[in-house]
Structure 1
Amino acid sequence: MRDLFDLPQHGEDPVEKARAHARRDLPKRFYKEAAAVAEGDGHAVVLDGRPIRTPAGSRLVVPHGAIAAAIAAEWAAQETVIDPGKMPLTRLANSALDAVAREADAVRGEIARYAGGDLLIYRAGNPQELVERQNALWNPVIAWAEGRYAGRFTLAEGVMHVDQNAEVLTAIRDSLAPVDPLPLAALHVATTLTGSALLALSVWHGELSGADAWQAAHVDEDWNMQLWGRDEEALERRAHRAAEFEAAVLVIDALRPGKGGE
């Protein structure tokens, strides 16, 4: 079981990682039943009663029963072969246990760096309808972040880089210090998939739902499709990425501050 999933590297697109797996020969399903069971203070996932292990050999134990049940459901849904591309929660848990637990400070720093070049900072100058859509969905998140992290973000029109207040970015990084590896991994995935640390953090703190954050991340893409027509290839890619995002949001919703494990 340890060879089924390679360890994702930080900064690597989880969707591209899944596609790389899909190009390989997939192992055959070898178990009859997948289940979530209580183990100590957490919840383990077992196949025919035997624990799943991560690529590095750790037992796959998560802090919330709903997350373990969802991982078990991913394994139960595999048919004749085991396809990692269809198991985003399993990959997320593997990454959290094998990589993020060791490199949490680097992950916190990367999320803060995303905030420095956040999607929500760079705005369209026209057409007016797109400007208004961005303002309606993005301005409240900027205002919330400025209040929470006690600083201002400098907005820009176009794609020319603008430097952000270093103290705000430091506050974002430092705020992540108490976050455990699994939700930190989920925040990283949500950040990279949306291009916005501020959207991911707004979901983490209950300011936005996952669905609202996903919509906000696709304002420009939706505008282009409205203008030029549906792009089926783009929609297929978005659907694949949405599954990754939903897995991250499941973890975020279960483990956000004030909730904890069950």
Structure 2
Amino acid sequence: MLKTQGGNVLQIESEPLALAIAEEWASQEQQLHMGHMRLTGLAFTAQDNPLHLTRESITAKILGYLHGDTVLFWNSESEKLSRYQEQYWKPVIDIANEGLGTSLKPCTNLFDTDVVSPSDARIVEKWLMSHNFWALTGMQYAVESVKSVLLPYSVVTFKLQAEDAVHRAMLEQKSQAETWGSVEWAHGVEEEELTTRLAAAALFVYFNSNAVTKKTL
């Protein structure tokens, strides 16, 4: 029987998630590395809910990121970066518009507070609120990891893989590295870390959006 950090018996409504968490524990050797057990950590957070969040409060937090979404704010001062944004960010915006029925457009003014229209915000809010609390916990983790709502949306709807989404999230850093150089190993570690987070979060959303059986671990 597995207990959360809050001392509660972990109960999971998705059998695939329960199996994935069991595999996380089985893969641990002599010492536990909780930092590597993303699904376990998300499940503990969702069940204990230490910040007393609700579906409404999580949705509001995620919508806050939508209004400052990485892929909606383009840099017009760099010709190379502008080309990259057109190539890598516009398809992400298109995926959201096609999937949700929104009319999102990129903006080149970092101080623009009206990038997302009220009607588009309501559409995204409705989509978020269609998920249960556990799925929203995973979505919030994904959004906070890459500072974007649209990139995780593309991953959880199977339009992009997590690795590709992270590549797009780090577009500005990659462009700067091409120009000025960077510490390659450090850059690689950051990208791998973000990919692991996003992939785990997307799985957590998926498993909790397709629940079949309640399990106690």
TM-score normalised to the size of structure 1?
0.70
1:219 Cα deviation (Å)? 1.2
Which deviates more from structure 2 when the two are superposed, residues 171-180 or residues 205-214?
Answer: 205-214
The residue aligned with 1:167 is: 119
The residue aligned with 1:252 is: 205
Say whether residues 1:63 and 2:16 are aligned partners.
no
Q: 1:131 aligns with which of 58, 72, 82?
A: 82
Identity %: 23
1:154 Cα deviation (Å)? 4.5
The residue aligned with 2:179 is: 227
Matches within 5 A, 1:1-262: 51-99=1-49, 102-157=53-108, 159-163=110-114, 164-231=116-183, 232-255=185-208, 259-261=210-212
Amino acid at match of 2:73: Y
Q: For the Cα contact (< 8 Å) 1:190–1:245, is it kept in 2?
A: yes
Q: Deviations 1:205-247 (Å, cap 9, x if unpaired)?
A: 2332323222221211222222223323343233233222221
1:102 Cα deviation (Å)? 4.9
Change (3 A) 1:240 1:205: closer
Change (3 A) 1:239 1:203: closer
Separation of aligned partners in 2, 1:223 and 1:205: 27
The residue aligned with 1:44 is: none
Q: Deviations 1:157-187 (Å, cap 9, x if unpaired)?
A: 2532332212211221122222122221111
Separation of aligned partners in 2, 1:261 and 1:203: 22
Amino acid at match of 1:169: A
Separation of aligned partners in 2, 1:255 and 1:106: 18
Separation of aligned partners in 1, 2:170 and 2:39: 23
Question: Is there any run of 5+ residues in structure 1 with no aligned partner, and where?
Answer: 1-50
Amino acid at match of 2:97: E
Which deviates more from structure 2 when the two are superposed, residues 221-230 or residues 117-126?
Answer: 221-230
Separation of aligned partners in 1, 2:179 and 2:188: 15
TM-score normalised to the size of structure 2?
0.83
Question: Could you say which structure has the greater relative contact order, defined with CA pairs below 8 angstroms and 6 or more residues apart?
Answer: 2
Instruction: Please state whether the residue corresponding to 1:54 is helix, strand or coil.
Output: coil
Query: Which is higher, the Rg of structure 1 or of structure 2?
Result: 1
Instruction: Please state whether the residue corresponding to 1:59 is helix, strand or coil.
Output: coil
Question: Is there any run of 5+ residues in structure 2 with no aligned partner, and where?
Answer: none
The structure richer in helix per residue is: 2
Separation of aligned partners in 2, 1:191 and 1:209: 15
Q: For the Cα contact (< 8 Å) 1:114–1:191, is it kept in 2?
A: yes
Separation of aligned partners in 1, 2:167 and 2:191: 11
Instruction: Please state whether the residue corresponding to 2:7 is helix, strand or coil.
Output: coil
